[in-house]
Amino acid sequence: MNHSYCNICAAPLSRALYESEGLQSLTSLCQLRFGVTRVSACAQCGHLQTEEIPDSAAFYENEYDILVSSEEEDQIYEVKSDGKQIYRTDHQVKVLLEKLTLPKEARILDYGCAKSSMVRRLLSQRSDLQAHLFDVSPRYLTFWEKFIEPGRWAIHNLPHNWEGYFDVVTSFFSMEHMVRPVESVRKMAAMLKPGGALYCIVPNVSTNIADFIVMDHVNHFSSTSIHYLLHSAGLEVDSIDADAHSGAFVVLAHRSEQSARATLPKEFTHNVEDWLKRFENIASFWSKAAENIRSQEAQLPKGAGIAIYGAGFYGAFVVSCLRDPNRVECHLDQNIYLQGQKLNGRPILPPTQLPEHIKYIWAGLNPAHAREIIQHVDALNLRPLTYLFLD
């Protein structure tokens, strides 16, 4: 991929809005990886993109293991005020069934599915559905074999007899990884019956700002670049919902009988400038957040014990910015699937197990919600702790 041109509309890109410091960056799995993250914006279609990591094909083939510790492993989507945890897969199935009327025995292809928790959960509610799976890596095959019969999955290449076969093609948080998104979406569109639906969820970088600095997320979509992409693939956009899923766009489109168009609908053109301003603000935030972390670190008492609340991307970002990351003793997280594991060598503990000697906690959370989340962690509120925030 030539980073000088937009992945969506092929327009030349300007200089990078953001370039990470140091020689390591963060992947979407919160792992440190050698390389610099460079992010640029397209002034024509309002797309934001990150320079492709070297050997990306090998990365997804051999290294990208998302939520593979068990069949049940999942990510927390929301913690209710009463402490009840809502997991991402459950929320995504709920939204899908609200937005799509699936006829009996509908044929569904989950494209870029990883272990496909979504389809497994969906089939537990709609066993009549004829589900099929596709991914670029064989690493998830052992999961698929437990709930999908042979012949209904494909790896690397889509079978020709699947073309025009499906009522629905889904894509859950996979399009941001696609090095050639136009080519990939055209393949998805080709799998649909005439009038068939494409249903996808992608990060919304304006409300999920962590997406901005994820080195393996090549694409960061705006509402305008989503329209351009889908129209280029011969799809008609039915809706782009920025509210149904926190920090993401839920997109519904259908296969059009008209020829593919590579022009942005006029009613969305005026939004490009607004998106470019948002991108600049987010780039500024991340540069300042790194500076804040280093400044806070310099002011901590020598030898003070430190923990990070959050074993996700923001927590990993804090560690990546520290001059002395060895000062961080542990991560705290309420996700039962993370507790007992390690993040970049540090144990992940429930908040109730915070060591007594630790007095300082970095909030490794989205700044938009960090203070509210910390407020509701009873186990921490019972102790005299000093909190440090990214902003």
Within this chain, do residues 237 and 153 fall inside the same structural domain, yes or no? yes
Within this chain, do residues 237 and 351 fall inside the same structural domain, yes or no? no
Domain C-terminal end among 232, 261, 290: 261
Within this chain, do residues 348 and 217 fall inside the same structural domain, yes or no? no
Would you state the pLDDT for residue 36? 86
Within this chain, do residues 253 and 308 fall inside the same structural domain, yes or no? no
Within this chain, do residues 230 and 94 fall inside the same structural domain, yes or no? yes
Rounded to the nearest 5°, which phi and psi values hold at 266?
A: -55, -35
Across 74-78, 219-223, 336-340, the highest mean pLDDT is recorded for 219-223
Q: Checking phi first, is residue 223 left (phi over 0); if not, alpha (psi -120 to 50) or beta?
A: alpha
| pTM score | 0.82
Question: DSSP letter string over 14-29?
Answer: -S-SEE-SSSEEE-TT
pLDDT tens figures, 151-171:
999 999 999 999 999 999 999
Percent of the chain residues topping a pLDDT of 70 = 88
Domain C-terminal end among 213, 238, 261: 261
| Contact of 191 with 162, CB cutoff 8 Å | yes
Supply the range of the domain harboring residue 132. Answer: 76-261
Would you state the pLDDT for residue 76? 66
HSE-up of 181 (CA within 13 Å, CB side)?
31
pLDDT tens figures, 10-69:
999 988 999 987 777 888 888 878 888 999 999 999 999 999 887 665 565 556 554 444
Distance in angstroms (rounded) separating the CA atoms of residues 178 and 3 = 14
Within this chain, do residues 377 and 256 fall inside the same structural domain, yes or no? no
Would you state the pLDDT for residue 106? 97
pLDDT tens figures, 330-340:
999 988 888 99
Q: Can you say whether the dihedral through the CA atoms of 348, 349, 350, 351 is positive or negative?
A: negative
* CATH code for position 306: 3.40.50.20
Residue 62 within any structural domain of the chain:
no
Residue 71 within any structural domain of the chain:
no
Within this chain, do residues 254 and 312 fall inside the same structural domain, yes or no? no
Domain C-terminal end among 235, 261, 287: 261
Within this chain, do residues 232 and 305 fall inside the same structural domain, yes or no? no
| Structural domain count of the chain | 2
Residues whose CB is less than 8 angstroms from the CB of residue 219 and which lie 6 or more positions away in sequence, other chains included: 7, 8, 47, 48, 49, 50, 175, 176, 177, 178, 181, 202, 225
HSE-up of 300 (CA within 13 Å, CB side)?
25
